[in-house]
Amino acid sequence: MTSVGSGLDASGPLKDILEIWHEHRAAVLFATTCILALVWFYLELLPRNNIEPTNLKPNQQATSSIILEEKIITGGEKAKDVATGPRRIKGELRRTDSARKSLGSGEERRIQILVFYSSLIGNTERIANGAAEGLGTSLGEGYNSHSTFLKPIVLDLAEADYDEYFISTPKQTEPNTPVEYFYLILLPSYNIDSINDNLLEHMRETHHDFRIDTAPLSGILGYSVFGFGDREGWPTEDEGFCFQAKEVDKWMAKLTGRKRAYPLGMADTKRELKERLDEWIGGVKDIMGLVARTGSLGEGVPGSGDAVESDDEYASGEDDDEVLVDESLTAKQSKRKEKPSNIDDVEDLGRIMKASQADSKTASSAPVAVDFTTYTKSTSKRPPQTIKEMVPKNSPTYASLTKQGYSIVGSHSGVKICRWTKSALRGRGSCYKFSFYGIASHQCMETTPSLSCSNKCVFCWRHGTNPVGTTWRWVVDPPELIFDGVKAGHYKKIKMLRGVPGVRAERFAEAMRIRHCALSLVGEPIFYPHINEFLAMLHGERISSFLVCNAQHPDQLAALKAVTQLYVSIDASNKESLRKIDRPLHRDFWERFQRCLEILREKRFKQRTVFRLTLVKGFNVEDEVEGYADLVEKGLPCFVEIKGVTYCGTSSSAGAGLSMANVPFYAEVTEFVEALNKKLNERGLKYGIAAEHAHSCCVLIASERFRVDGKWHTRIDYQRFFELLEERGADGDWTPEEYMGPETPEWATWGQGGFDPRDTRVDRKGRKIEV
Ligand SMILES: Cc1cc2nc3c(=O)[nH]c(=O)nc-3n(C[C@H](O)[C@H](O)[C@H](O)COP(=O)(O)O)c2cc1C
Ligand code: SF4
């Protein structure tokens, strides 16, 4: 037996131990090292993990590191620098109250509202004090345990130190209890020298001072401005109404790096003060609630509160009704062959709906899909098919649509904010439907309960991403889910526009109540099996319905109940042209189209019916006036909207062969309209050119039924429409004349251009255009 290095002879238990040591020396050393490493790891890192919240803001993080150094107590002494090696912790970990609050919840915050005002006559001073008191009372009640609103402080801009408040974020008085600041600025305008000029000068200089950050107030939580003015002396914003509040709002956006938390509010102090102020204060309180709950001002769209006051959305070209040339159409797409699909009875629709509603996720018991490809009925039976979602979350279609700004609701519906809604929120004009029918664009929701369509129109601006199909072969979502979802999606997007330059508090508040619904987004709304239930929900909340269909689903059109205004798209005047331009999937598309016109004719004394013509030069304009007159004679719609196609592409539409050359000039549209109107009159049809919206390249021909004492009445009495619905039900009998609105405003009538004089017309870069 050999000795163990020491030269000692070993025997008995000692010998056993030594033998084991020899055999397992490496393993034992490794285990010991691991245990020591774990102990070090525990002692060194655990305390820090406990007290360093990862999601704190920079100033909070700074505070936490101060706390780390000062408050970890080792036997009554301050801890040594953590980098010097493992620490031995004795005794308890103690923290100050504020640190405990701040770190225990991870989100404790103290918010200080500063109410700035200027006042020559004294009104604004009184209002500022009242507002601060009101806010103090309601916010003092607290939104949750993690936020404390300190009593608002009122500051007179004539006395406040600009260097303290407008050159950088106000200094923290107690570093261990950081405070976040929220600025409210109440400002009357004066066209004489006043303290406002000093403030504006100071803001301008600060922003341009190369020694100072261009956004030195970016550390504040947010701001909002309210302006006071007098419309008697300064009737419009262009004439100086609240001009200094507008300026301050703009400079604050720059200095804070887009932290406009709520839109600029404005009031004529002699007329609408209380209403506007309450509205604005209510909005500010909501934002405070949001901050308290979530710790942030919420999401904003790109450009929201943009310091350069951008108008980027004008370049996006999005719009429900502006039909845009789709640059993404490719030769490949246009040549794509349609797969032969099943032909079944329309009655099967009911079966599909029931089955898919019963269990939308159980695909195995799926009924036979409905095929609308051929309008004639067939009795052939098809094997059961699997029901899928139309736009599954993981599909490229979903990704593409959401990228384009659609919110997908459920599995086949969508909602999107149209560019006119944004435009109206900013006082830059509503869409032509305002001029013609009185729809306020900022109160309009654009949605569809079916993202699928059965055409592939050459001018469709949906970038070829919407699903197409002739059959409803997808899961059917219940109408309640869609209704709640689209409203929530719409409101969410409106809220995101709160910081966009030019959005006015008044219109923003109005926009939080949807009054109109344009069912004309991508897809075909009447494709949705529960369209009537969905419409009833809209009407139940007094939301008007403007439903556009593609004249390819006659049975659904016939079964459609009351809508406020019913459209069919008339994209061509003859079969060949329609095939070329709409590229329909249905083989019997022309028969379907004709049948839809007949149905519209039948409905014309019950509903406001509209033909929508989209003119594409080289496709459906030349030599087609006669053909369109035939169609109007057949359908006898209440109105004919004629619109020039709009181009948004940067490259040519190779597949469809479209380019800017296909976009008619407004003069060409008006020439066409005059020719069509003449043809109609020659045939003894009583129509006339009623209104126009040159900005949208759109003109309205109306039936003389809507001309009273020589004046056009193309607008709608929405109130009366809902009364009729409530009195007589969705199948009830009434005529469109019964809810005919007041006279079409002079500025909207033919020859006047159609731009609301109360709005400001701007170009794509936001520069003012003289109308
Ligand atoms: C000399 C003078 C000039 C004014 N200039 C404007 C103006 O350019 N634009 C505007 O909207 N209101 C203007 N106003 C209206 C005031 O902004 C409005 O009356 C405001 O409520 C006054 O607030 P104060 O009482 O706090 O000073 C002016 C008022 C005065 C007396
Ligand atoms: S009707 Fe509504 S959705 Fe359509 S363009 Fe006007 S505002 Fe937009």
pLDDT tens digit sequence for 705-736? 999 999 999 999 999 999 999 999 999 899 99
Express as a percent the part of the chain with pLDDT over 90: 48
pLDDT at 204 over 50: yes
- Tell me the pairing of strands 413-416 and 77-78: unpaired
Q: How far is CA 516 from CA 108, 188, 424, 507, 535, in A?
A: 41, 35, 14, 15, 12
Atom 6 in ligand 2: residue holding the nearest Cα:
431
Ligand 2 atom nearest to CA at 431: 6
| Ligand 2 center to 413 CA (angstroms) | 17
* Residue 592 to residue 373: CA distance in whole angstroms: 10
DSSP H/E element including 186: strand 179-188
* Atom nearest to 188 CA in ligand 1: 17
Q: How confident is the model at residue 29 (pLDDT cuts 50, 70, 90)?
A: low
The pLDDT score that the predictor gives to residue 78 is 33
Cα→Cα distances 284→176, 279, 403, 494, 668, Å: 28, 9, 30, 16, 48
CA 708 to ligand 2 centroid distance, Å? 27
Lowest-confidence region among 38-42, 293-297, 301-305, 519-523:
301-305
Please say whether the beta carbons of 617 and 646 come within 8 A: no
Nearest CA to ligand 2 atom 4: 320
DSSP-derived pairing of the beta strands 698-703 and 687-693: antiparallel
Q: What per-residue confidence (pLDDT) applies to 40?
A: 55
Report which ligand 1 atom has the smallest distance to the Cα of 119.
26
Domain boundaries, the chain: 12-95, 107-294, 324-332+395-732+741-748
Token match 């948004």: residue? 648
Q: Are 380 and 359 in contact (CB under 8 A)?
A: no
582 touches 549 (CB < 8 A): no
Contact 725, 732 (CB under 8 A): yes
pLDDT score for 39: 52
Burial of residue 105 (number of CB atoms within 10 Å: 0-12, 13-18, 19+): middle
User: Rounded to the nearest whole angstrom, what is the distance from the C-alpha of residue 502 to the centroid of ligand 1?
Assistant: 21
Q: Which residue's CA is minimally distant from atom 2 of ligand 2?
A: 444
Q: Is 211 exposed, middle or buried (0-12, 13-18, 19+ CB in 10 A)?
A: exposed
Q: In testing the pocket of ligand 2, which one of 426, 439, 718 has its CB within 8 Å of the most ligand atoms?
A: 439
Q: Which of 185, 189, 248, 266 to mutate to test the pocket of ligand 1 (most atoms within 8 A of CB)?
A: 189
Residue 560 near residue 594 (C-beta atoms within 8 A): no
Burial classification of residue 397, based on how many CB atoms lie within 10 Å of its CB (0-12 exposed, 13-18 middle, 19 or more buried) = middle
Question: Is 441 touching ligand 2 by the criterion CB < 6 Å?
Answer: yes
Confidence of residue 765 (pLDDT cuts 50, 70, 90): low
Say which ligand is closest to the CA of 515.
2
Per-residue pLDDT tens for 380-393? 455 555 688 888 89
Which pLDDT belongs to residue 574? 86
**DSSP string over 440-475:** -GGGEEEEES---BS---TT--STT-S-B-SS--B-
Confidence of residue 33 (pLDDT cuts 50, 70, 90): low
pLDDT 10s digits, 490-511: 999 999 898 888 899 999 999 9
Which residue's C-alpha comes closest to atom 3 of ligand 2? 446
Among 46, 32, 50, 49, CA closest to 89? 46
Whole-angstrom distance, CA of residue 94 vs CA of residue 464: 63
Q: Give the residue with greater pLDDT, 421 vs 400.
A: 421
* Cα 47 from chain centre: 44
In whole angstroms, give the CA distance from residue 753 to residue 771: 9
Q: Which ligand is nearest to the CA of 567?
A: 2
Euclidean distance between the first and the last CA atom of the chain, given in angstroms as a whole number = 112
CA distance 420 to 413: 21
Q: Is residue 674 scored above 80 in pLDDT?
A: yes
Q: Which residue has the higher pLDDT, 174 or 605?
A: 605
Decide which of 50 and 457 is more confident. 457
Ligand nearest to the CA of 120: 1
What is the per-residue pLDDT for 35?
A: 63
Per-residue CA distances from 614 to 87, 278, 648, 698 (Å): 77, 44, 15, 9
Write the secondary structure of 108-167 as one string of H (helix), E (strand) and C (coil). CEEEEEEEEECCCCCHHHHHHHHHHHHHHHHHHCCCCCCEEEEEEEEEECCCCCHHHHCC
| Closest residue by Cα to residue 600 from 642, 629, 644, 633 | 633
* 628 neighbors 676 (Cβ within 8 angstroms): yes
Q: How far apart are CA 747 and CA 761, in angstroms?
A: 14
The pLDDT-based confidence of 768 (bands split at 50, 70, 90) is: low
Ligand 1 atom nearest residue 127's Cα: 26
pLDDT value at position 445? 96
Question: With 80 as the cut, is the pLDDT of residue 54 above it?
Answer: no
- Relative to the CA of 521, which ligand 2 atom is closest? 3
Q: 370 alpha carbon to ligand 1 midpoint, in Å?
A: 67
Q: Which residues pair with 149 in a beta bridge?
A: 111
19-33, 110-124, 161-175, 387-401 — which is least confidently predicted?
A: 19-33
* pLDDT 10s digits, 157-187: 999 999 899 998 998 877 778 899 999 999 9
State whether the beta carbon of 439 lies less than 6 angstroms from ligand 2.
yes
State phi, psi for 678 to the nearest 5 degrees. -60, -45
pLDDT recorded at residue 26 = 57
Most ligand 2 atoms within 8 A of CB, residue of 417, 441, 563 to mutate: 441
Q: For 173, phi and psi rounded to 5 degrees? A: -85, -35
Q: In CATH, what is the architecture of 324-332+395-732+741-748?
A: Alpha-Beta Barrel (3.20)
pLDDT over threshold 90, residue 634: yes
Question: Relative to the CA of 441, which ligand 2 atom is closest?
Answer: 7
CATH architecture of 107-294: 3-Layer(aba) Sandwich (3.40)
Residue 480, C-beta contacts closer than 8 angstroms, at least 6 positions apart: 537
Of the ligands numbered here, which is closest to the C-alpha atom of 118? 1
**528-558 pLDDT per residue, tens:** 999 999 999 999 999 999 999 988 889 999 9
Q: What DSSP string runs through 515-554?
A: -EEEE-SSS-GGGSTTHHHHHHHHHHTT-EEEEEE-S--H
What interhelical angle do 531-540 and 479-496 show, nearest 10? 50
Q: How far apart are CA 173 and CA 69, in angstroms?
A: 20
CB-CB contact of 255 with 203 (8 Å): yes
Q: Residue 610 in contact with residue 600, Cβ under 8 Å?
A: no
Provide DSSP, 682-706: HTT--EEEEEEEGGGTEEEEEEGGG
DSSP designation for 629: H
Contacts of 524 (CB under 8 A, 6+ apart): 448, 450, 452, 453, 454, 549, 550, 552, 553
| Token digits of residue 570 | 């008339």
Q: How many CA atoms lie within 13 A of 202 on its CB side?
A: 19
Q: How far is CA 380 from CA 345, 355, 368, in A?
A: 8, 20, 11
Helix, strand or coil, per DSSP, at residue 228: strand
Task: Please say if the pLDDT value at position 640 is more than 70.
Answer: yes
pLDDT at 578: 85
From 433, 539, 547, 441, select the one nearest 490 (Cα to Cα). 441
Confidence of residue 656 (pLDDT cuts 50, 70, 90): low
* CA 316 to ligand 1 centroid distance, Å: 39
How is residue 741 written in tokens? 């609105």
Q: Which of 356-365, 617-626, 750-759 is predicted least confidently?
A: 356-365
State the distance from the centre of ligand 1 to the C-alpha of 230, rounded, in angstroms: 6
Q: Mean pLDDT of all residues in the chain?
A: 76
Mean pLDDT of 294-318: 43
As a whole number, mean pLDDT of residues 80-86 equals 35
Using pLDDT thresholds of 50, 70 and 90, give the confidence band for residue 107. low
247 CA to centre of ligand 1 in angstroms: 15
pLDDT at residue 86 is higher than 50: no
Give the model's pLDDT for residue 16.
54
The better pLDDT of the pair 307, 484 is held by 484
CA distance 187 to 196: 8
Helix (H) or strand (E) holding 480: helix 479-496
Most informative mutation of 416, 446, 447, 497 for ligand 2 (most atoms within 8 A of CB): 446
- Ligand 1 close to Cβ of residue 192 (< 6 A): yes
Tokens standing for 414? 């969508």
Nearest CA to ligand 2 atom 7: 441
The Cα–Cα gap between 207 and 254 comes to 7
Q: 32-41, 269-278, 648-657: which has the minimum mean pLDDT?
A: 648-657
For residue 344, the one-letter residue type is: D
Choose among 758, 690, 30, 87: nearest CA to 430: 758
pLDDT for the residue 746: 95
How far is ligand 1, taken at its centre, from the CA of residue 499, in Å? 26
CB–CB of 382/413 below 8 Å? no
Q: Contact 543/516 with Cβ under 8 angstroms? A: yes
Report the residue among 319, 320, 323, 406 best suited for mutation to probe ligand 2: largest number of ligand atoms under 8 A from its CB: 320
Q: Is 692 a pocket residue for ligand 2 (Cβ < 6 Å)?
A: no
Tokens coding 540: 């139940």
DSSP secondary structure string, 334-363?
HHPPPPP-----TTHHHHHHHHHHHTTT--
Distance of CA 59 to the CA centre of its chain: 32
Does ligand 2 lie within 6 Å of residue 545's CB atom?
no
Q: What is the pLDDT of residue 360?
A: 37
